[in-house]
Amino acid sequence: MSLEDIVTDENVEEDLYSSFNLYQIKEFGFQLRSKLINKWNILGVEQSISEEERIKKLQYSETIINTVTGINFVPSYPFFILTILQSIEIGNPTDLSASTFGHYYQFLIQKSFTNILTSQREITEYENYLSELSFYLFDNTLREFDIHEFQSFDTKYRANYTISHSLEKITSNLLKANILENTGGVIEYKYSYIHYYFISNYIANHISDINIRELIISLTDRLFKSEYSNILMFLTHHTKDRFLLTELLKKAKSIFEELEPCKLGDDIKTIDKLGDKIPELVFESRSVDEYREEENKLKDEKKYTQEDTENLSDDINEIDIVSKLNTAFKALEIVGQILKNNYGKIDNDTIEKLLEESMLLGLRSLNVFFSIIEENSEFVINQVNAIITEIEKSRGKKIDNPKKIESLSKSTVFGLCNQISYSFIKKISDSIGTEYLNEILEKIYKKQDFNSVQLIKLAIKLDHYKGFPDSDIKKLKTEFDGLHLPTQIMKRLVVNHLYLFPTDHKQKSRILNFLNIPMRNQLRIDQTSKQKKR
């Protein structure tokens, strides 16, 4: 049936939509996100942009977008990704370390407001209304509400504040702007970033109130709960109040306070001895784009979930080890956000305390694993030995070389320690690393002169500084001579950098030869990937 038939024939009883297929745009994963970002960044400069500049812009934009979208904060639809990219371009901050992620959430919200409101006065009214509504819902442990609850809030709000629009008009506008959504009479924020943005805005506006300060203490004590750590993360975008810094510093000092920081020196002698017969690290030749795509594919395969809303009255006197580790990671992330967003507004002594305690917290957390393995290494190796033996038997293989199994068991335990150490070092670097705090960081490196801290220094320089830290690597190679684990971590940090960022073939060969890392088919890959565009 043609469109003309439908329009002219009044007797048509057929459902006009029955022949249409309904499609829904899916959110982009890390792979598609990266491809879209790259296309945006090289638009109009495909022939002139250098490979180094292209990857630098890609890394910069990916970091912002992955942080802003978070775990379901902002949906990864192309529209939102392009809107954030537009905001990056408009703001044009010279360095990620000097930008505030709160700017991007504000940009998205302001863009929503422009579709429904005509003046800054109305925008201000709505921002205050939503801040009060968000805290009202949080205070009553609600994420969803009906029209009756909305009316109850609206009545209370108008007793304290003036707003020019009626509740009916407000509801209509917020639904049109996709700030709220109504599903069968159940109303809620359409996207979680709006929920967190306005709760934290309320807390920031009332941070001098005693009850709000008590709330911040309660939230800080429960950092292992996603709801509360997210509120504090967003709060760092709204305020630089010293009370928040003080509470976070106290919390960081209290986590695993019974443990020493892992030094990766004499404290891991037993573990380090396991690395005397490990397979050599090999640099697998591939283009930067291929490696990045492979990394993004692995990220896409992971499942990220958000916890349900918790109750602040829950008992936290005894939390398990996993919750403590989660608390440590969240504290690192939040302190890092504060430092990167506001380092120019915080005195150097406070910055030094926050940076130092963040490093020590990360290394104390690492020691949770190492203290157990170091003290029970024989037991752990025997357990791994038993597992490998059972696997070999299940495959129908004859166990005629116990020493070979034992050697494999030791290598497996060492490899596990290597992976855990590398992950913690990278976590600390990703959280607090920035070139703009170099002078303060150097003071801490000298004060806490452990092998582990020197590896954090190297990771920060590789990930966040311009230029390649040749002198640091030469120094560490000498200092780590005879130490298997620190040497392996150093090599992995360098190899990871070479995979992620374009490096001249001669320089790459020189670096790998110096560290005794063999490479395969390097020149052919580099030449074919020159100026690769996606």
Domain assignment of residue 50, yes or no: yes
Among 77, 98, 119, the domain boundary falls at 98
Residue 375 pLDDT class (50, 70, 90 cuts): confident
pLDDT above 70: percentage of residues in the chain = 88
Q: How far apart are CA 163 and CA 152, in angstroms?
A: 16
Higher-confidence position of 439 and 239 = 439
- Smallest Cα–Cα separation from 359: which of 244, 413, 440, 414? 440
In a domain, 134, yes or no: yes
Average pLDDT over residues 63-68: 85
Question: 524 and 384 in one domain?
Answer: yes
Mean pLDDT of 292-308: 78
Same domain, 160 and 190: yes
H/E segment holding residue 122? helix 120-139
What average pLDDT does the segment 443-464 reach? Answer: 96
Instruction: Give the 3-state DSSP-derived string for 83-117, with helices as H, strands as E and coil as C.
Output: HHHHHHHHHCCCCHHHCCCHHHHHHHHHHHHHCCC
Is the model's pLDDT at 90 over the cut of 70?
yes
- Residues 516, 507: Cα–Cα separation, whole Å: 14
- Average pLDDT over the chain, rounded to an integer: 86
Domain count, the chain: 3
Of the given ranges (358-372, 385-399, 437-451, 504-518), which has the lowest mean pLDDT? 385-399
Say what the pTM is. 0.84
6 pLDDT more than 60: no
Query: 94 lies in a domain?
Result: yes
Mean pLDDT is lowest, of 67-71, 206-210, 215-219, 354-358, for 67-71
Per the CB < 8 A criterion, the answer to whether 405 and 388 are in contact is yes
Residues 272, 194 within the same domain: no
Residue 162 binned pLDDT confidence (cut-offs 50, 70, 90): very high
pLDDT in tens, 395-404: 777 766 778 8
Give the pLDDT band (50/70/90) at residue 92: very low
Coil/strand/helix, residue 313: coil
Segments forming the whole domain that contains residue 165: 110-254
pLDDT at residue 527 is higher than 50: no
- 208 with 284, same domain: the answer is no
Distances in Å between the Cα of 260 and the Cα atoms of 339, 365, 423 are 25, 9, 19
pLDDT at site 533: 44
167-173 mean pLDDT = 96
pLDDT at 118 over 50: yes
**Domain presence at residue 314:** no
Q: What is the pLDDT of residue 403?
A: 81
In this prediction, residue 302 carries a pLDDT of 80
DSSP tag of 163: -
What pLDDT does residue 23 have?
80
pLDDT given at position 205:
95
Q: Stretch 433-456: mean pLDDT, rounded?
A: 94
Q: Could you tell me the pLDDT band of residue 4, with boundaries at 50, 70 and 90?
A: low
Instruction: Tell me: pLDDT of 304 over 70.
Output: no
How much is the average pLDDT of 526-533?
Answer: 44
Is the pLDDT at 113 greater than 80? The verdict is: yes
Mean pLDDT across 210-228: 93
Q: What pLDDT score was predicted for residue 421?
A: 96
At 530 the pLDDT is: 45
Min mean pLDDT across 108-122, 307-321, 324-338, 387-401 is at 307-321
The domain boundary residue, chosen from 98, 131, 165: 98
In a domain, 261, yes or no: no
155 close to 147: Cβ distance less than 8 angstroms: no
Using only C-alpha atoms, the chain has a radius of gyration, in whole angstroms, of 27
User: Per-residue confidence at 313, pLDDT binned at 50, 70, 90?
Assistant: low
Produce one character per residue of 212-226: b if its CB has 16 or more CB atoms within 10 Å, e if not: bbebbeebbbbbbbb
More confident residue, 332 or 94: 332
Report yes or no: 428 and 463 within 8 Å, Cβ to Cβ: no
pLDDT of 351 reads: 92
Q: Give the Cα-Cα-Cα angle 12, 18, 20 (nearest 5 degrees).
A: 120
The string of pLDDT tens digits covering residues 228-239 is: 999 998 998 888
Judged by average pLDDT, the poorest of 90-94, 180-184, 213-217, 374-378 is 90-94
Q: pLDDT-derived band of residue 378, with 50, 70 and 90 as boundaries?
A: confident
List, in sequence order, every residue forming a beta bridge with 13; answer none if it has no partner: none
Query: Looking at the structure, do residues 134 and 76 belong to the same domain, yes or no?
Result: no
Q: How confident is the model at residue 525 (pLDDT cuts 50, 70, 90)?
A: very low
Whether residue 360 is contained in a domain is answered as yes
Q: Please indicate whether residue 127 or residue 504 has the higher confidence score (pLDDT).
A: 127
Residues 411 and 273 in one domain: yes
294 shares its domain with 238: no
pLDDT of 357 reads 95
The answer, yes or no, to whether residue 114 has pLDDT greater than 90, is: no
| One domain for residues 195 and 50 | no
Rounded distance between C-alpha atoms, residue 462 and residue 454, angstroms: 12
**70 pLDDT tier (thresholds 50, 70, 90):** confident
Q: Are residues 373 and 434 in the same domain?
A: yes
* Within-domain flag for 313: no
pLDDT of 494-518, one tens digit each? 999 999 999 888 899 999 999 999 9
Q: Is 487 helix (H, G, I), strand (E, B) or coil?
A: helix
In this prediction, residues 337-366 reach a mean pLDDT of: 90
Same domain, 184 and 212: yes
Domain boundary among 40, 65, 98: 98
277 & 247 share domain: no
| 445 C-beta neighbours (distance < 10 Å), count | 16
In this structure, the answer to whether residues 170 and 216 fall within a common structural domain is yes
Whether residue 117 is predicted with pLDDT greater than 80 in this model: the reply is yes
Q: Looking at residue 20, what DSSP letter applies?
A: P
Confidence (pLDDT) at 528:
43
- On whether residue 104 sits in a domain, the answer given is no
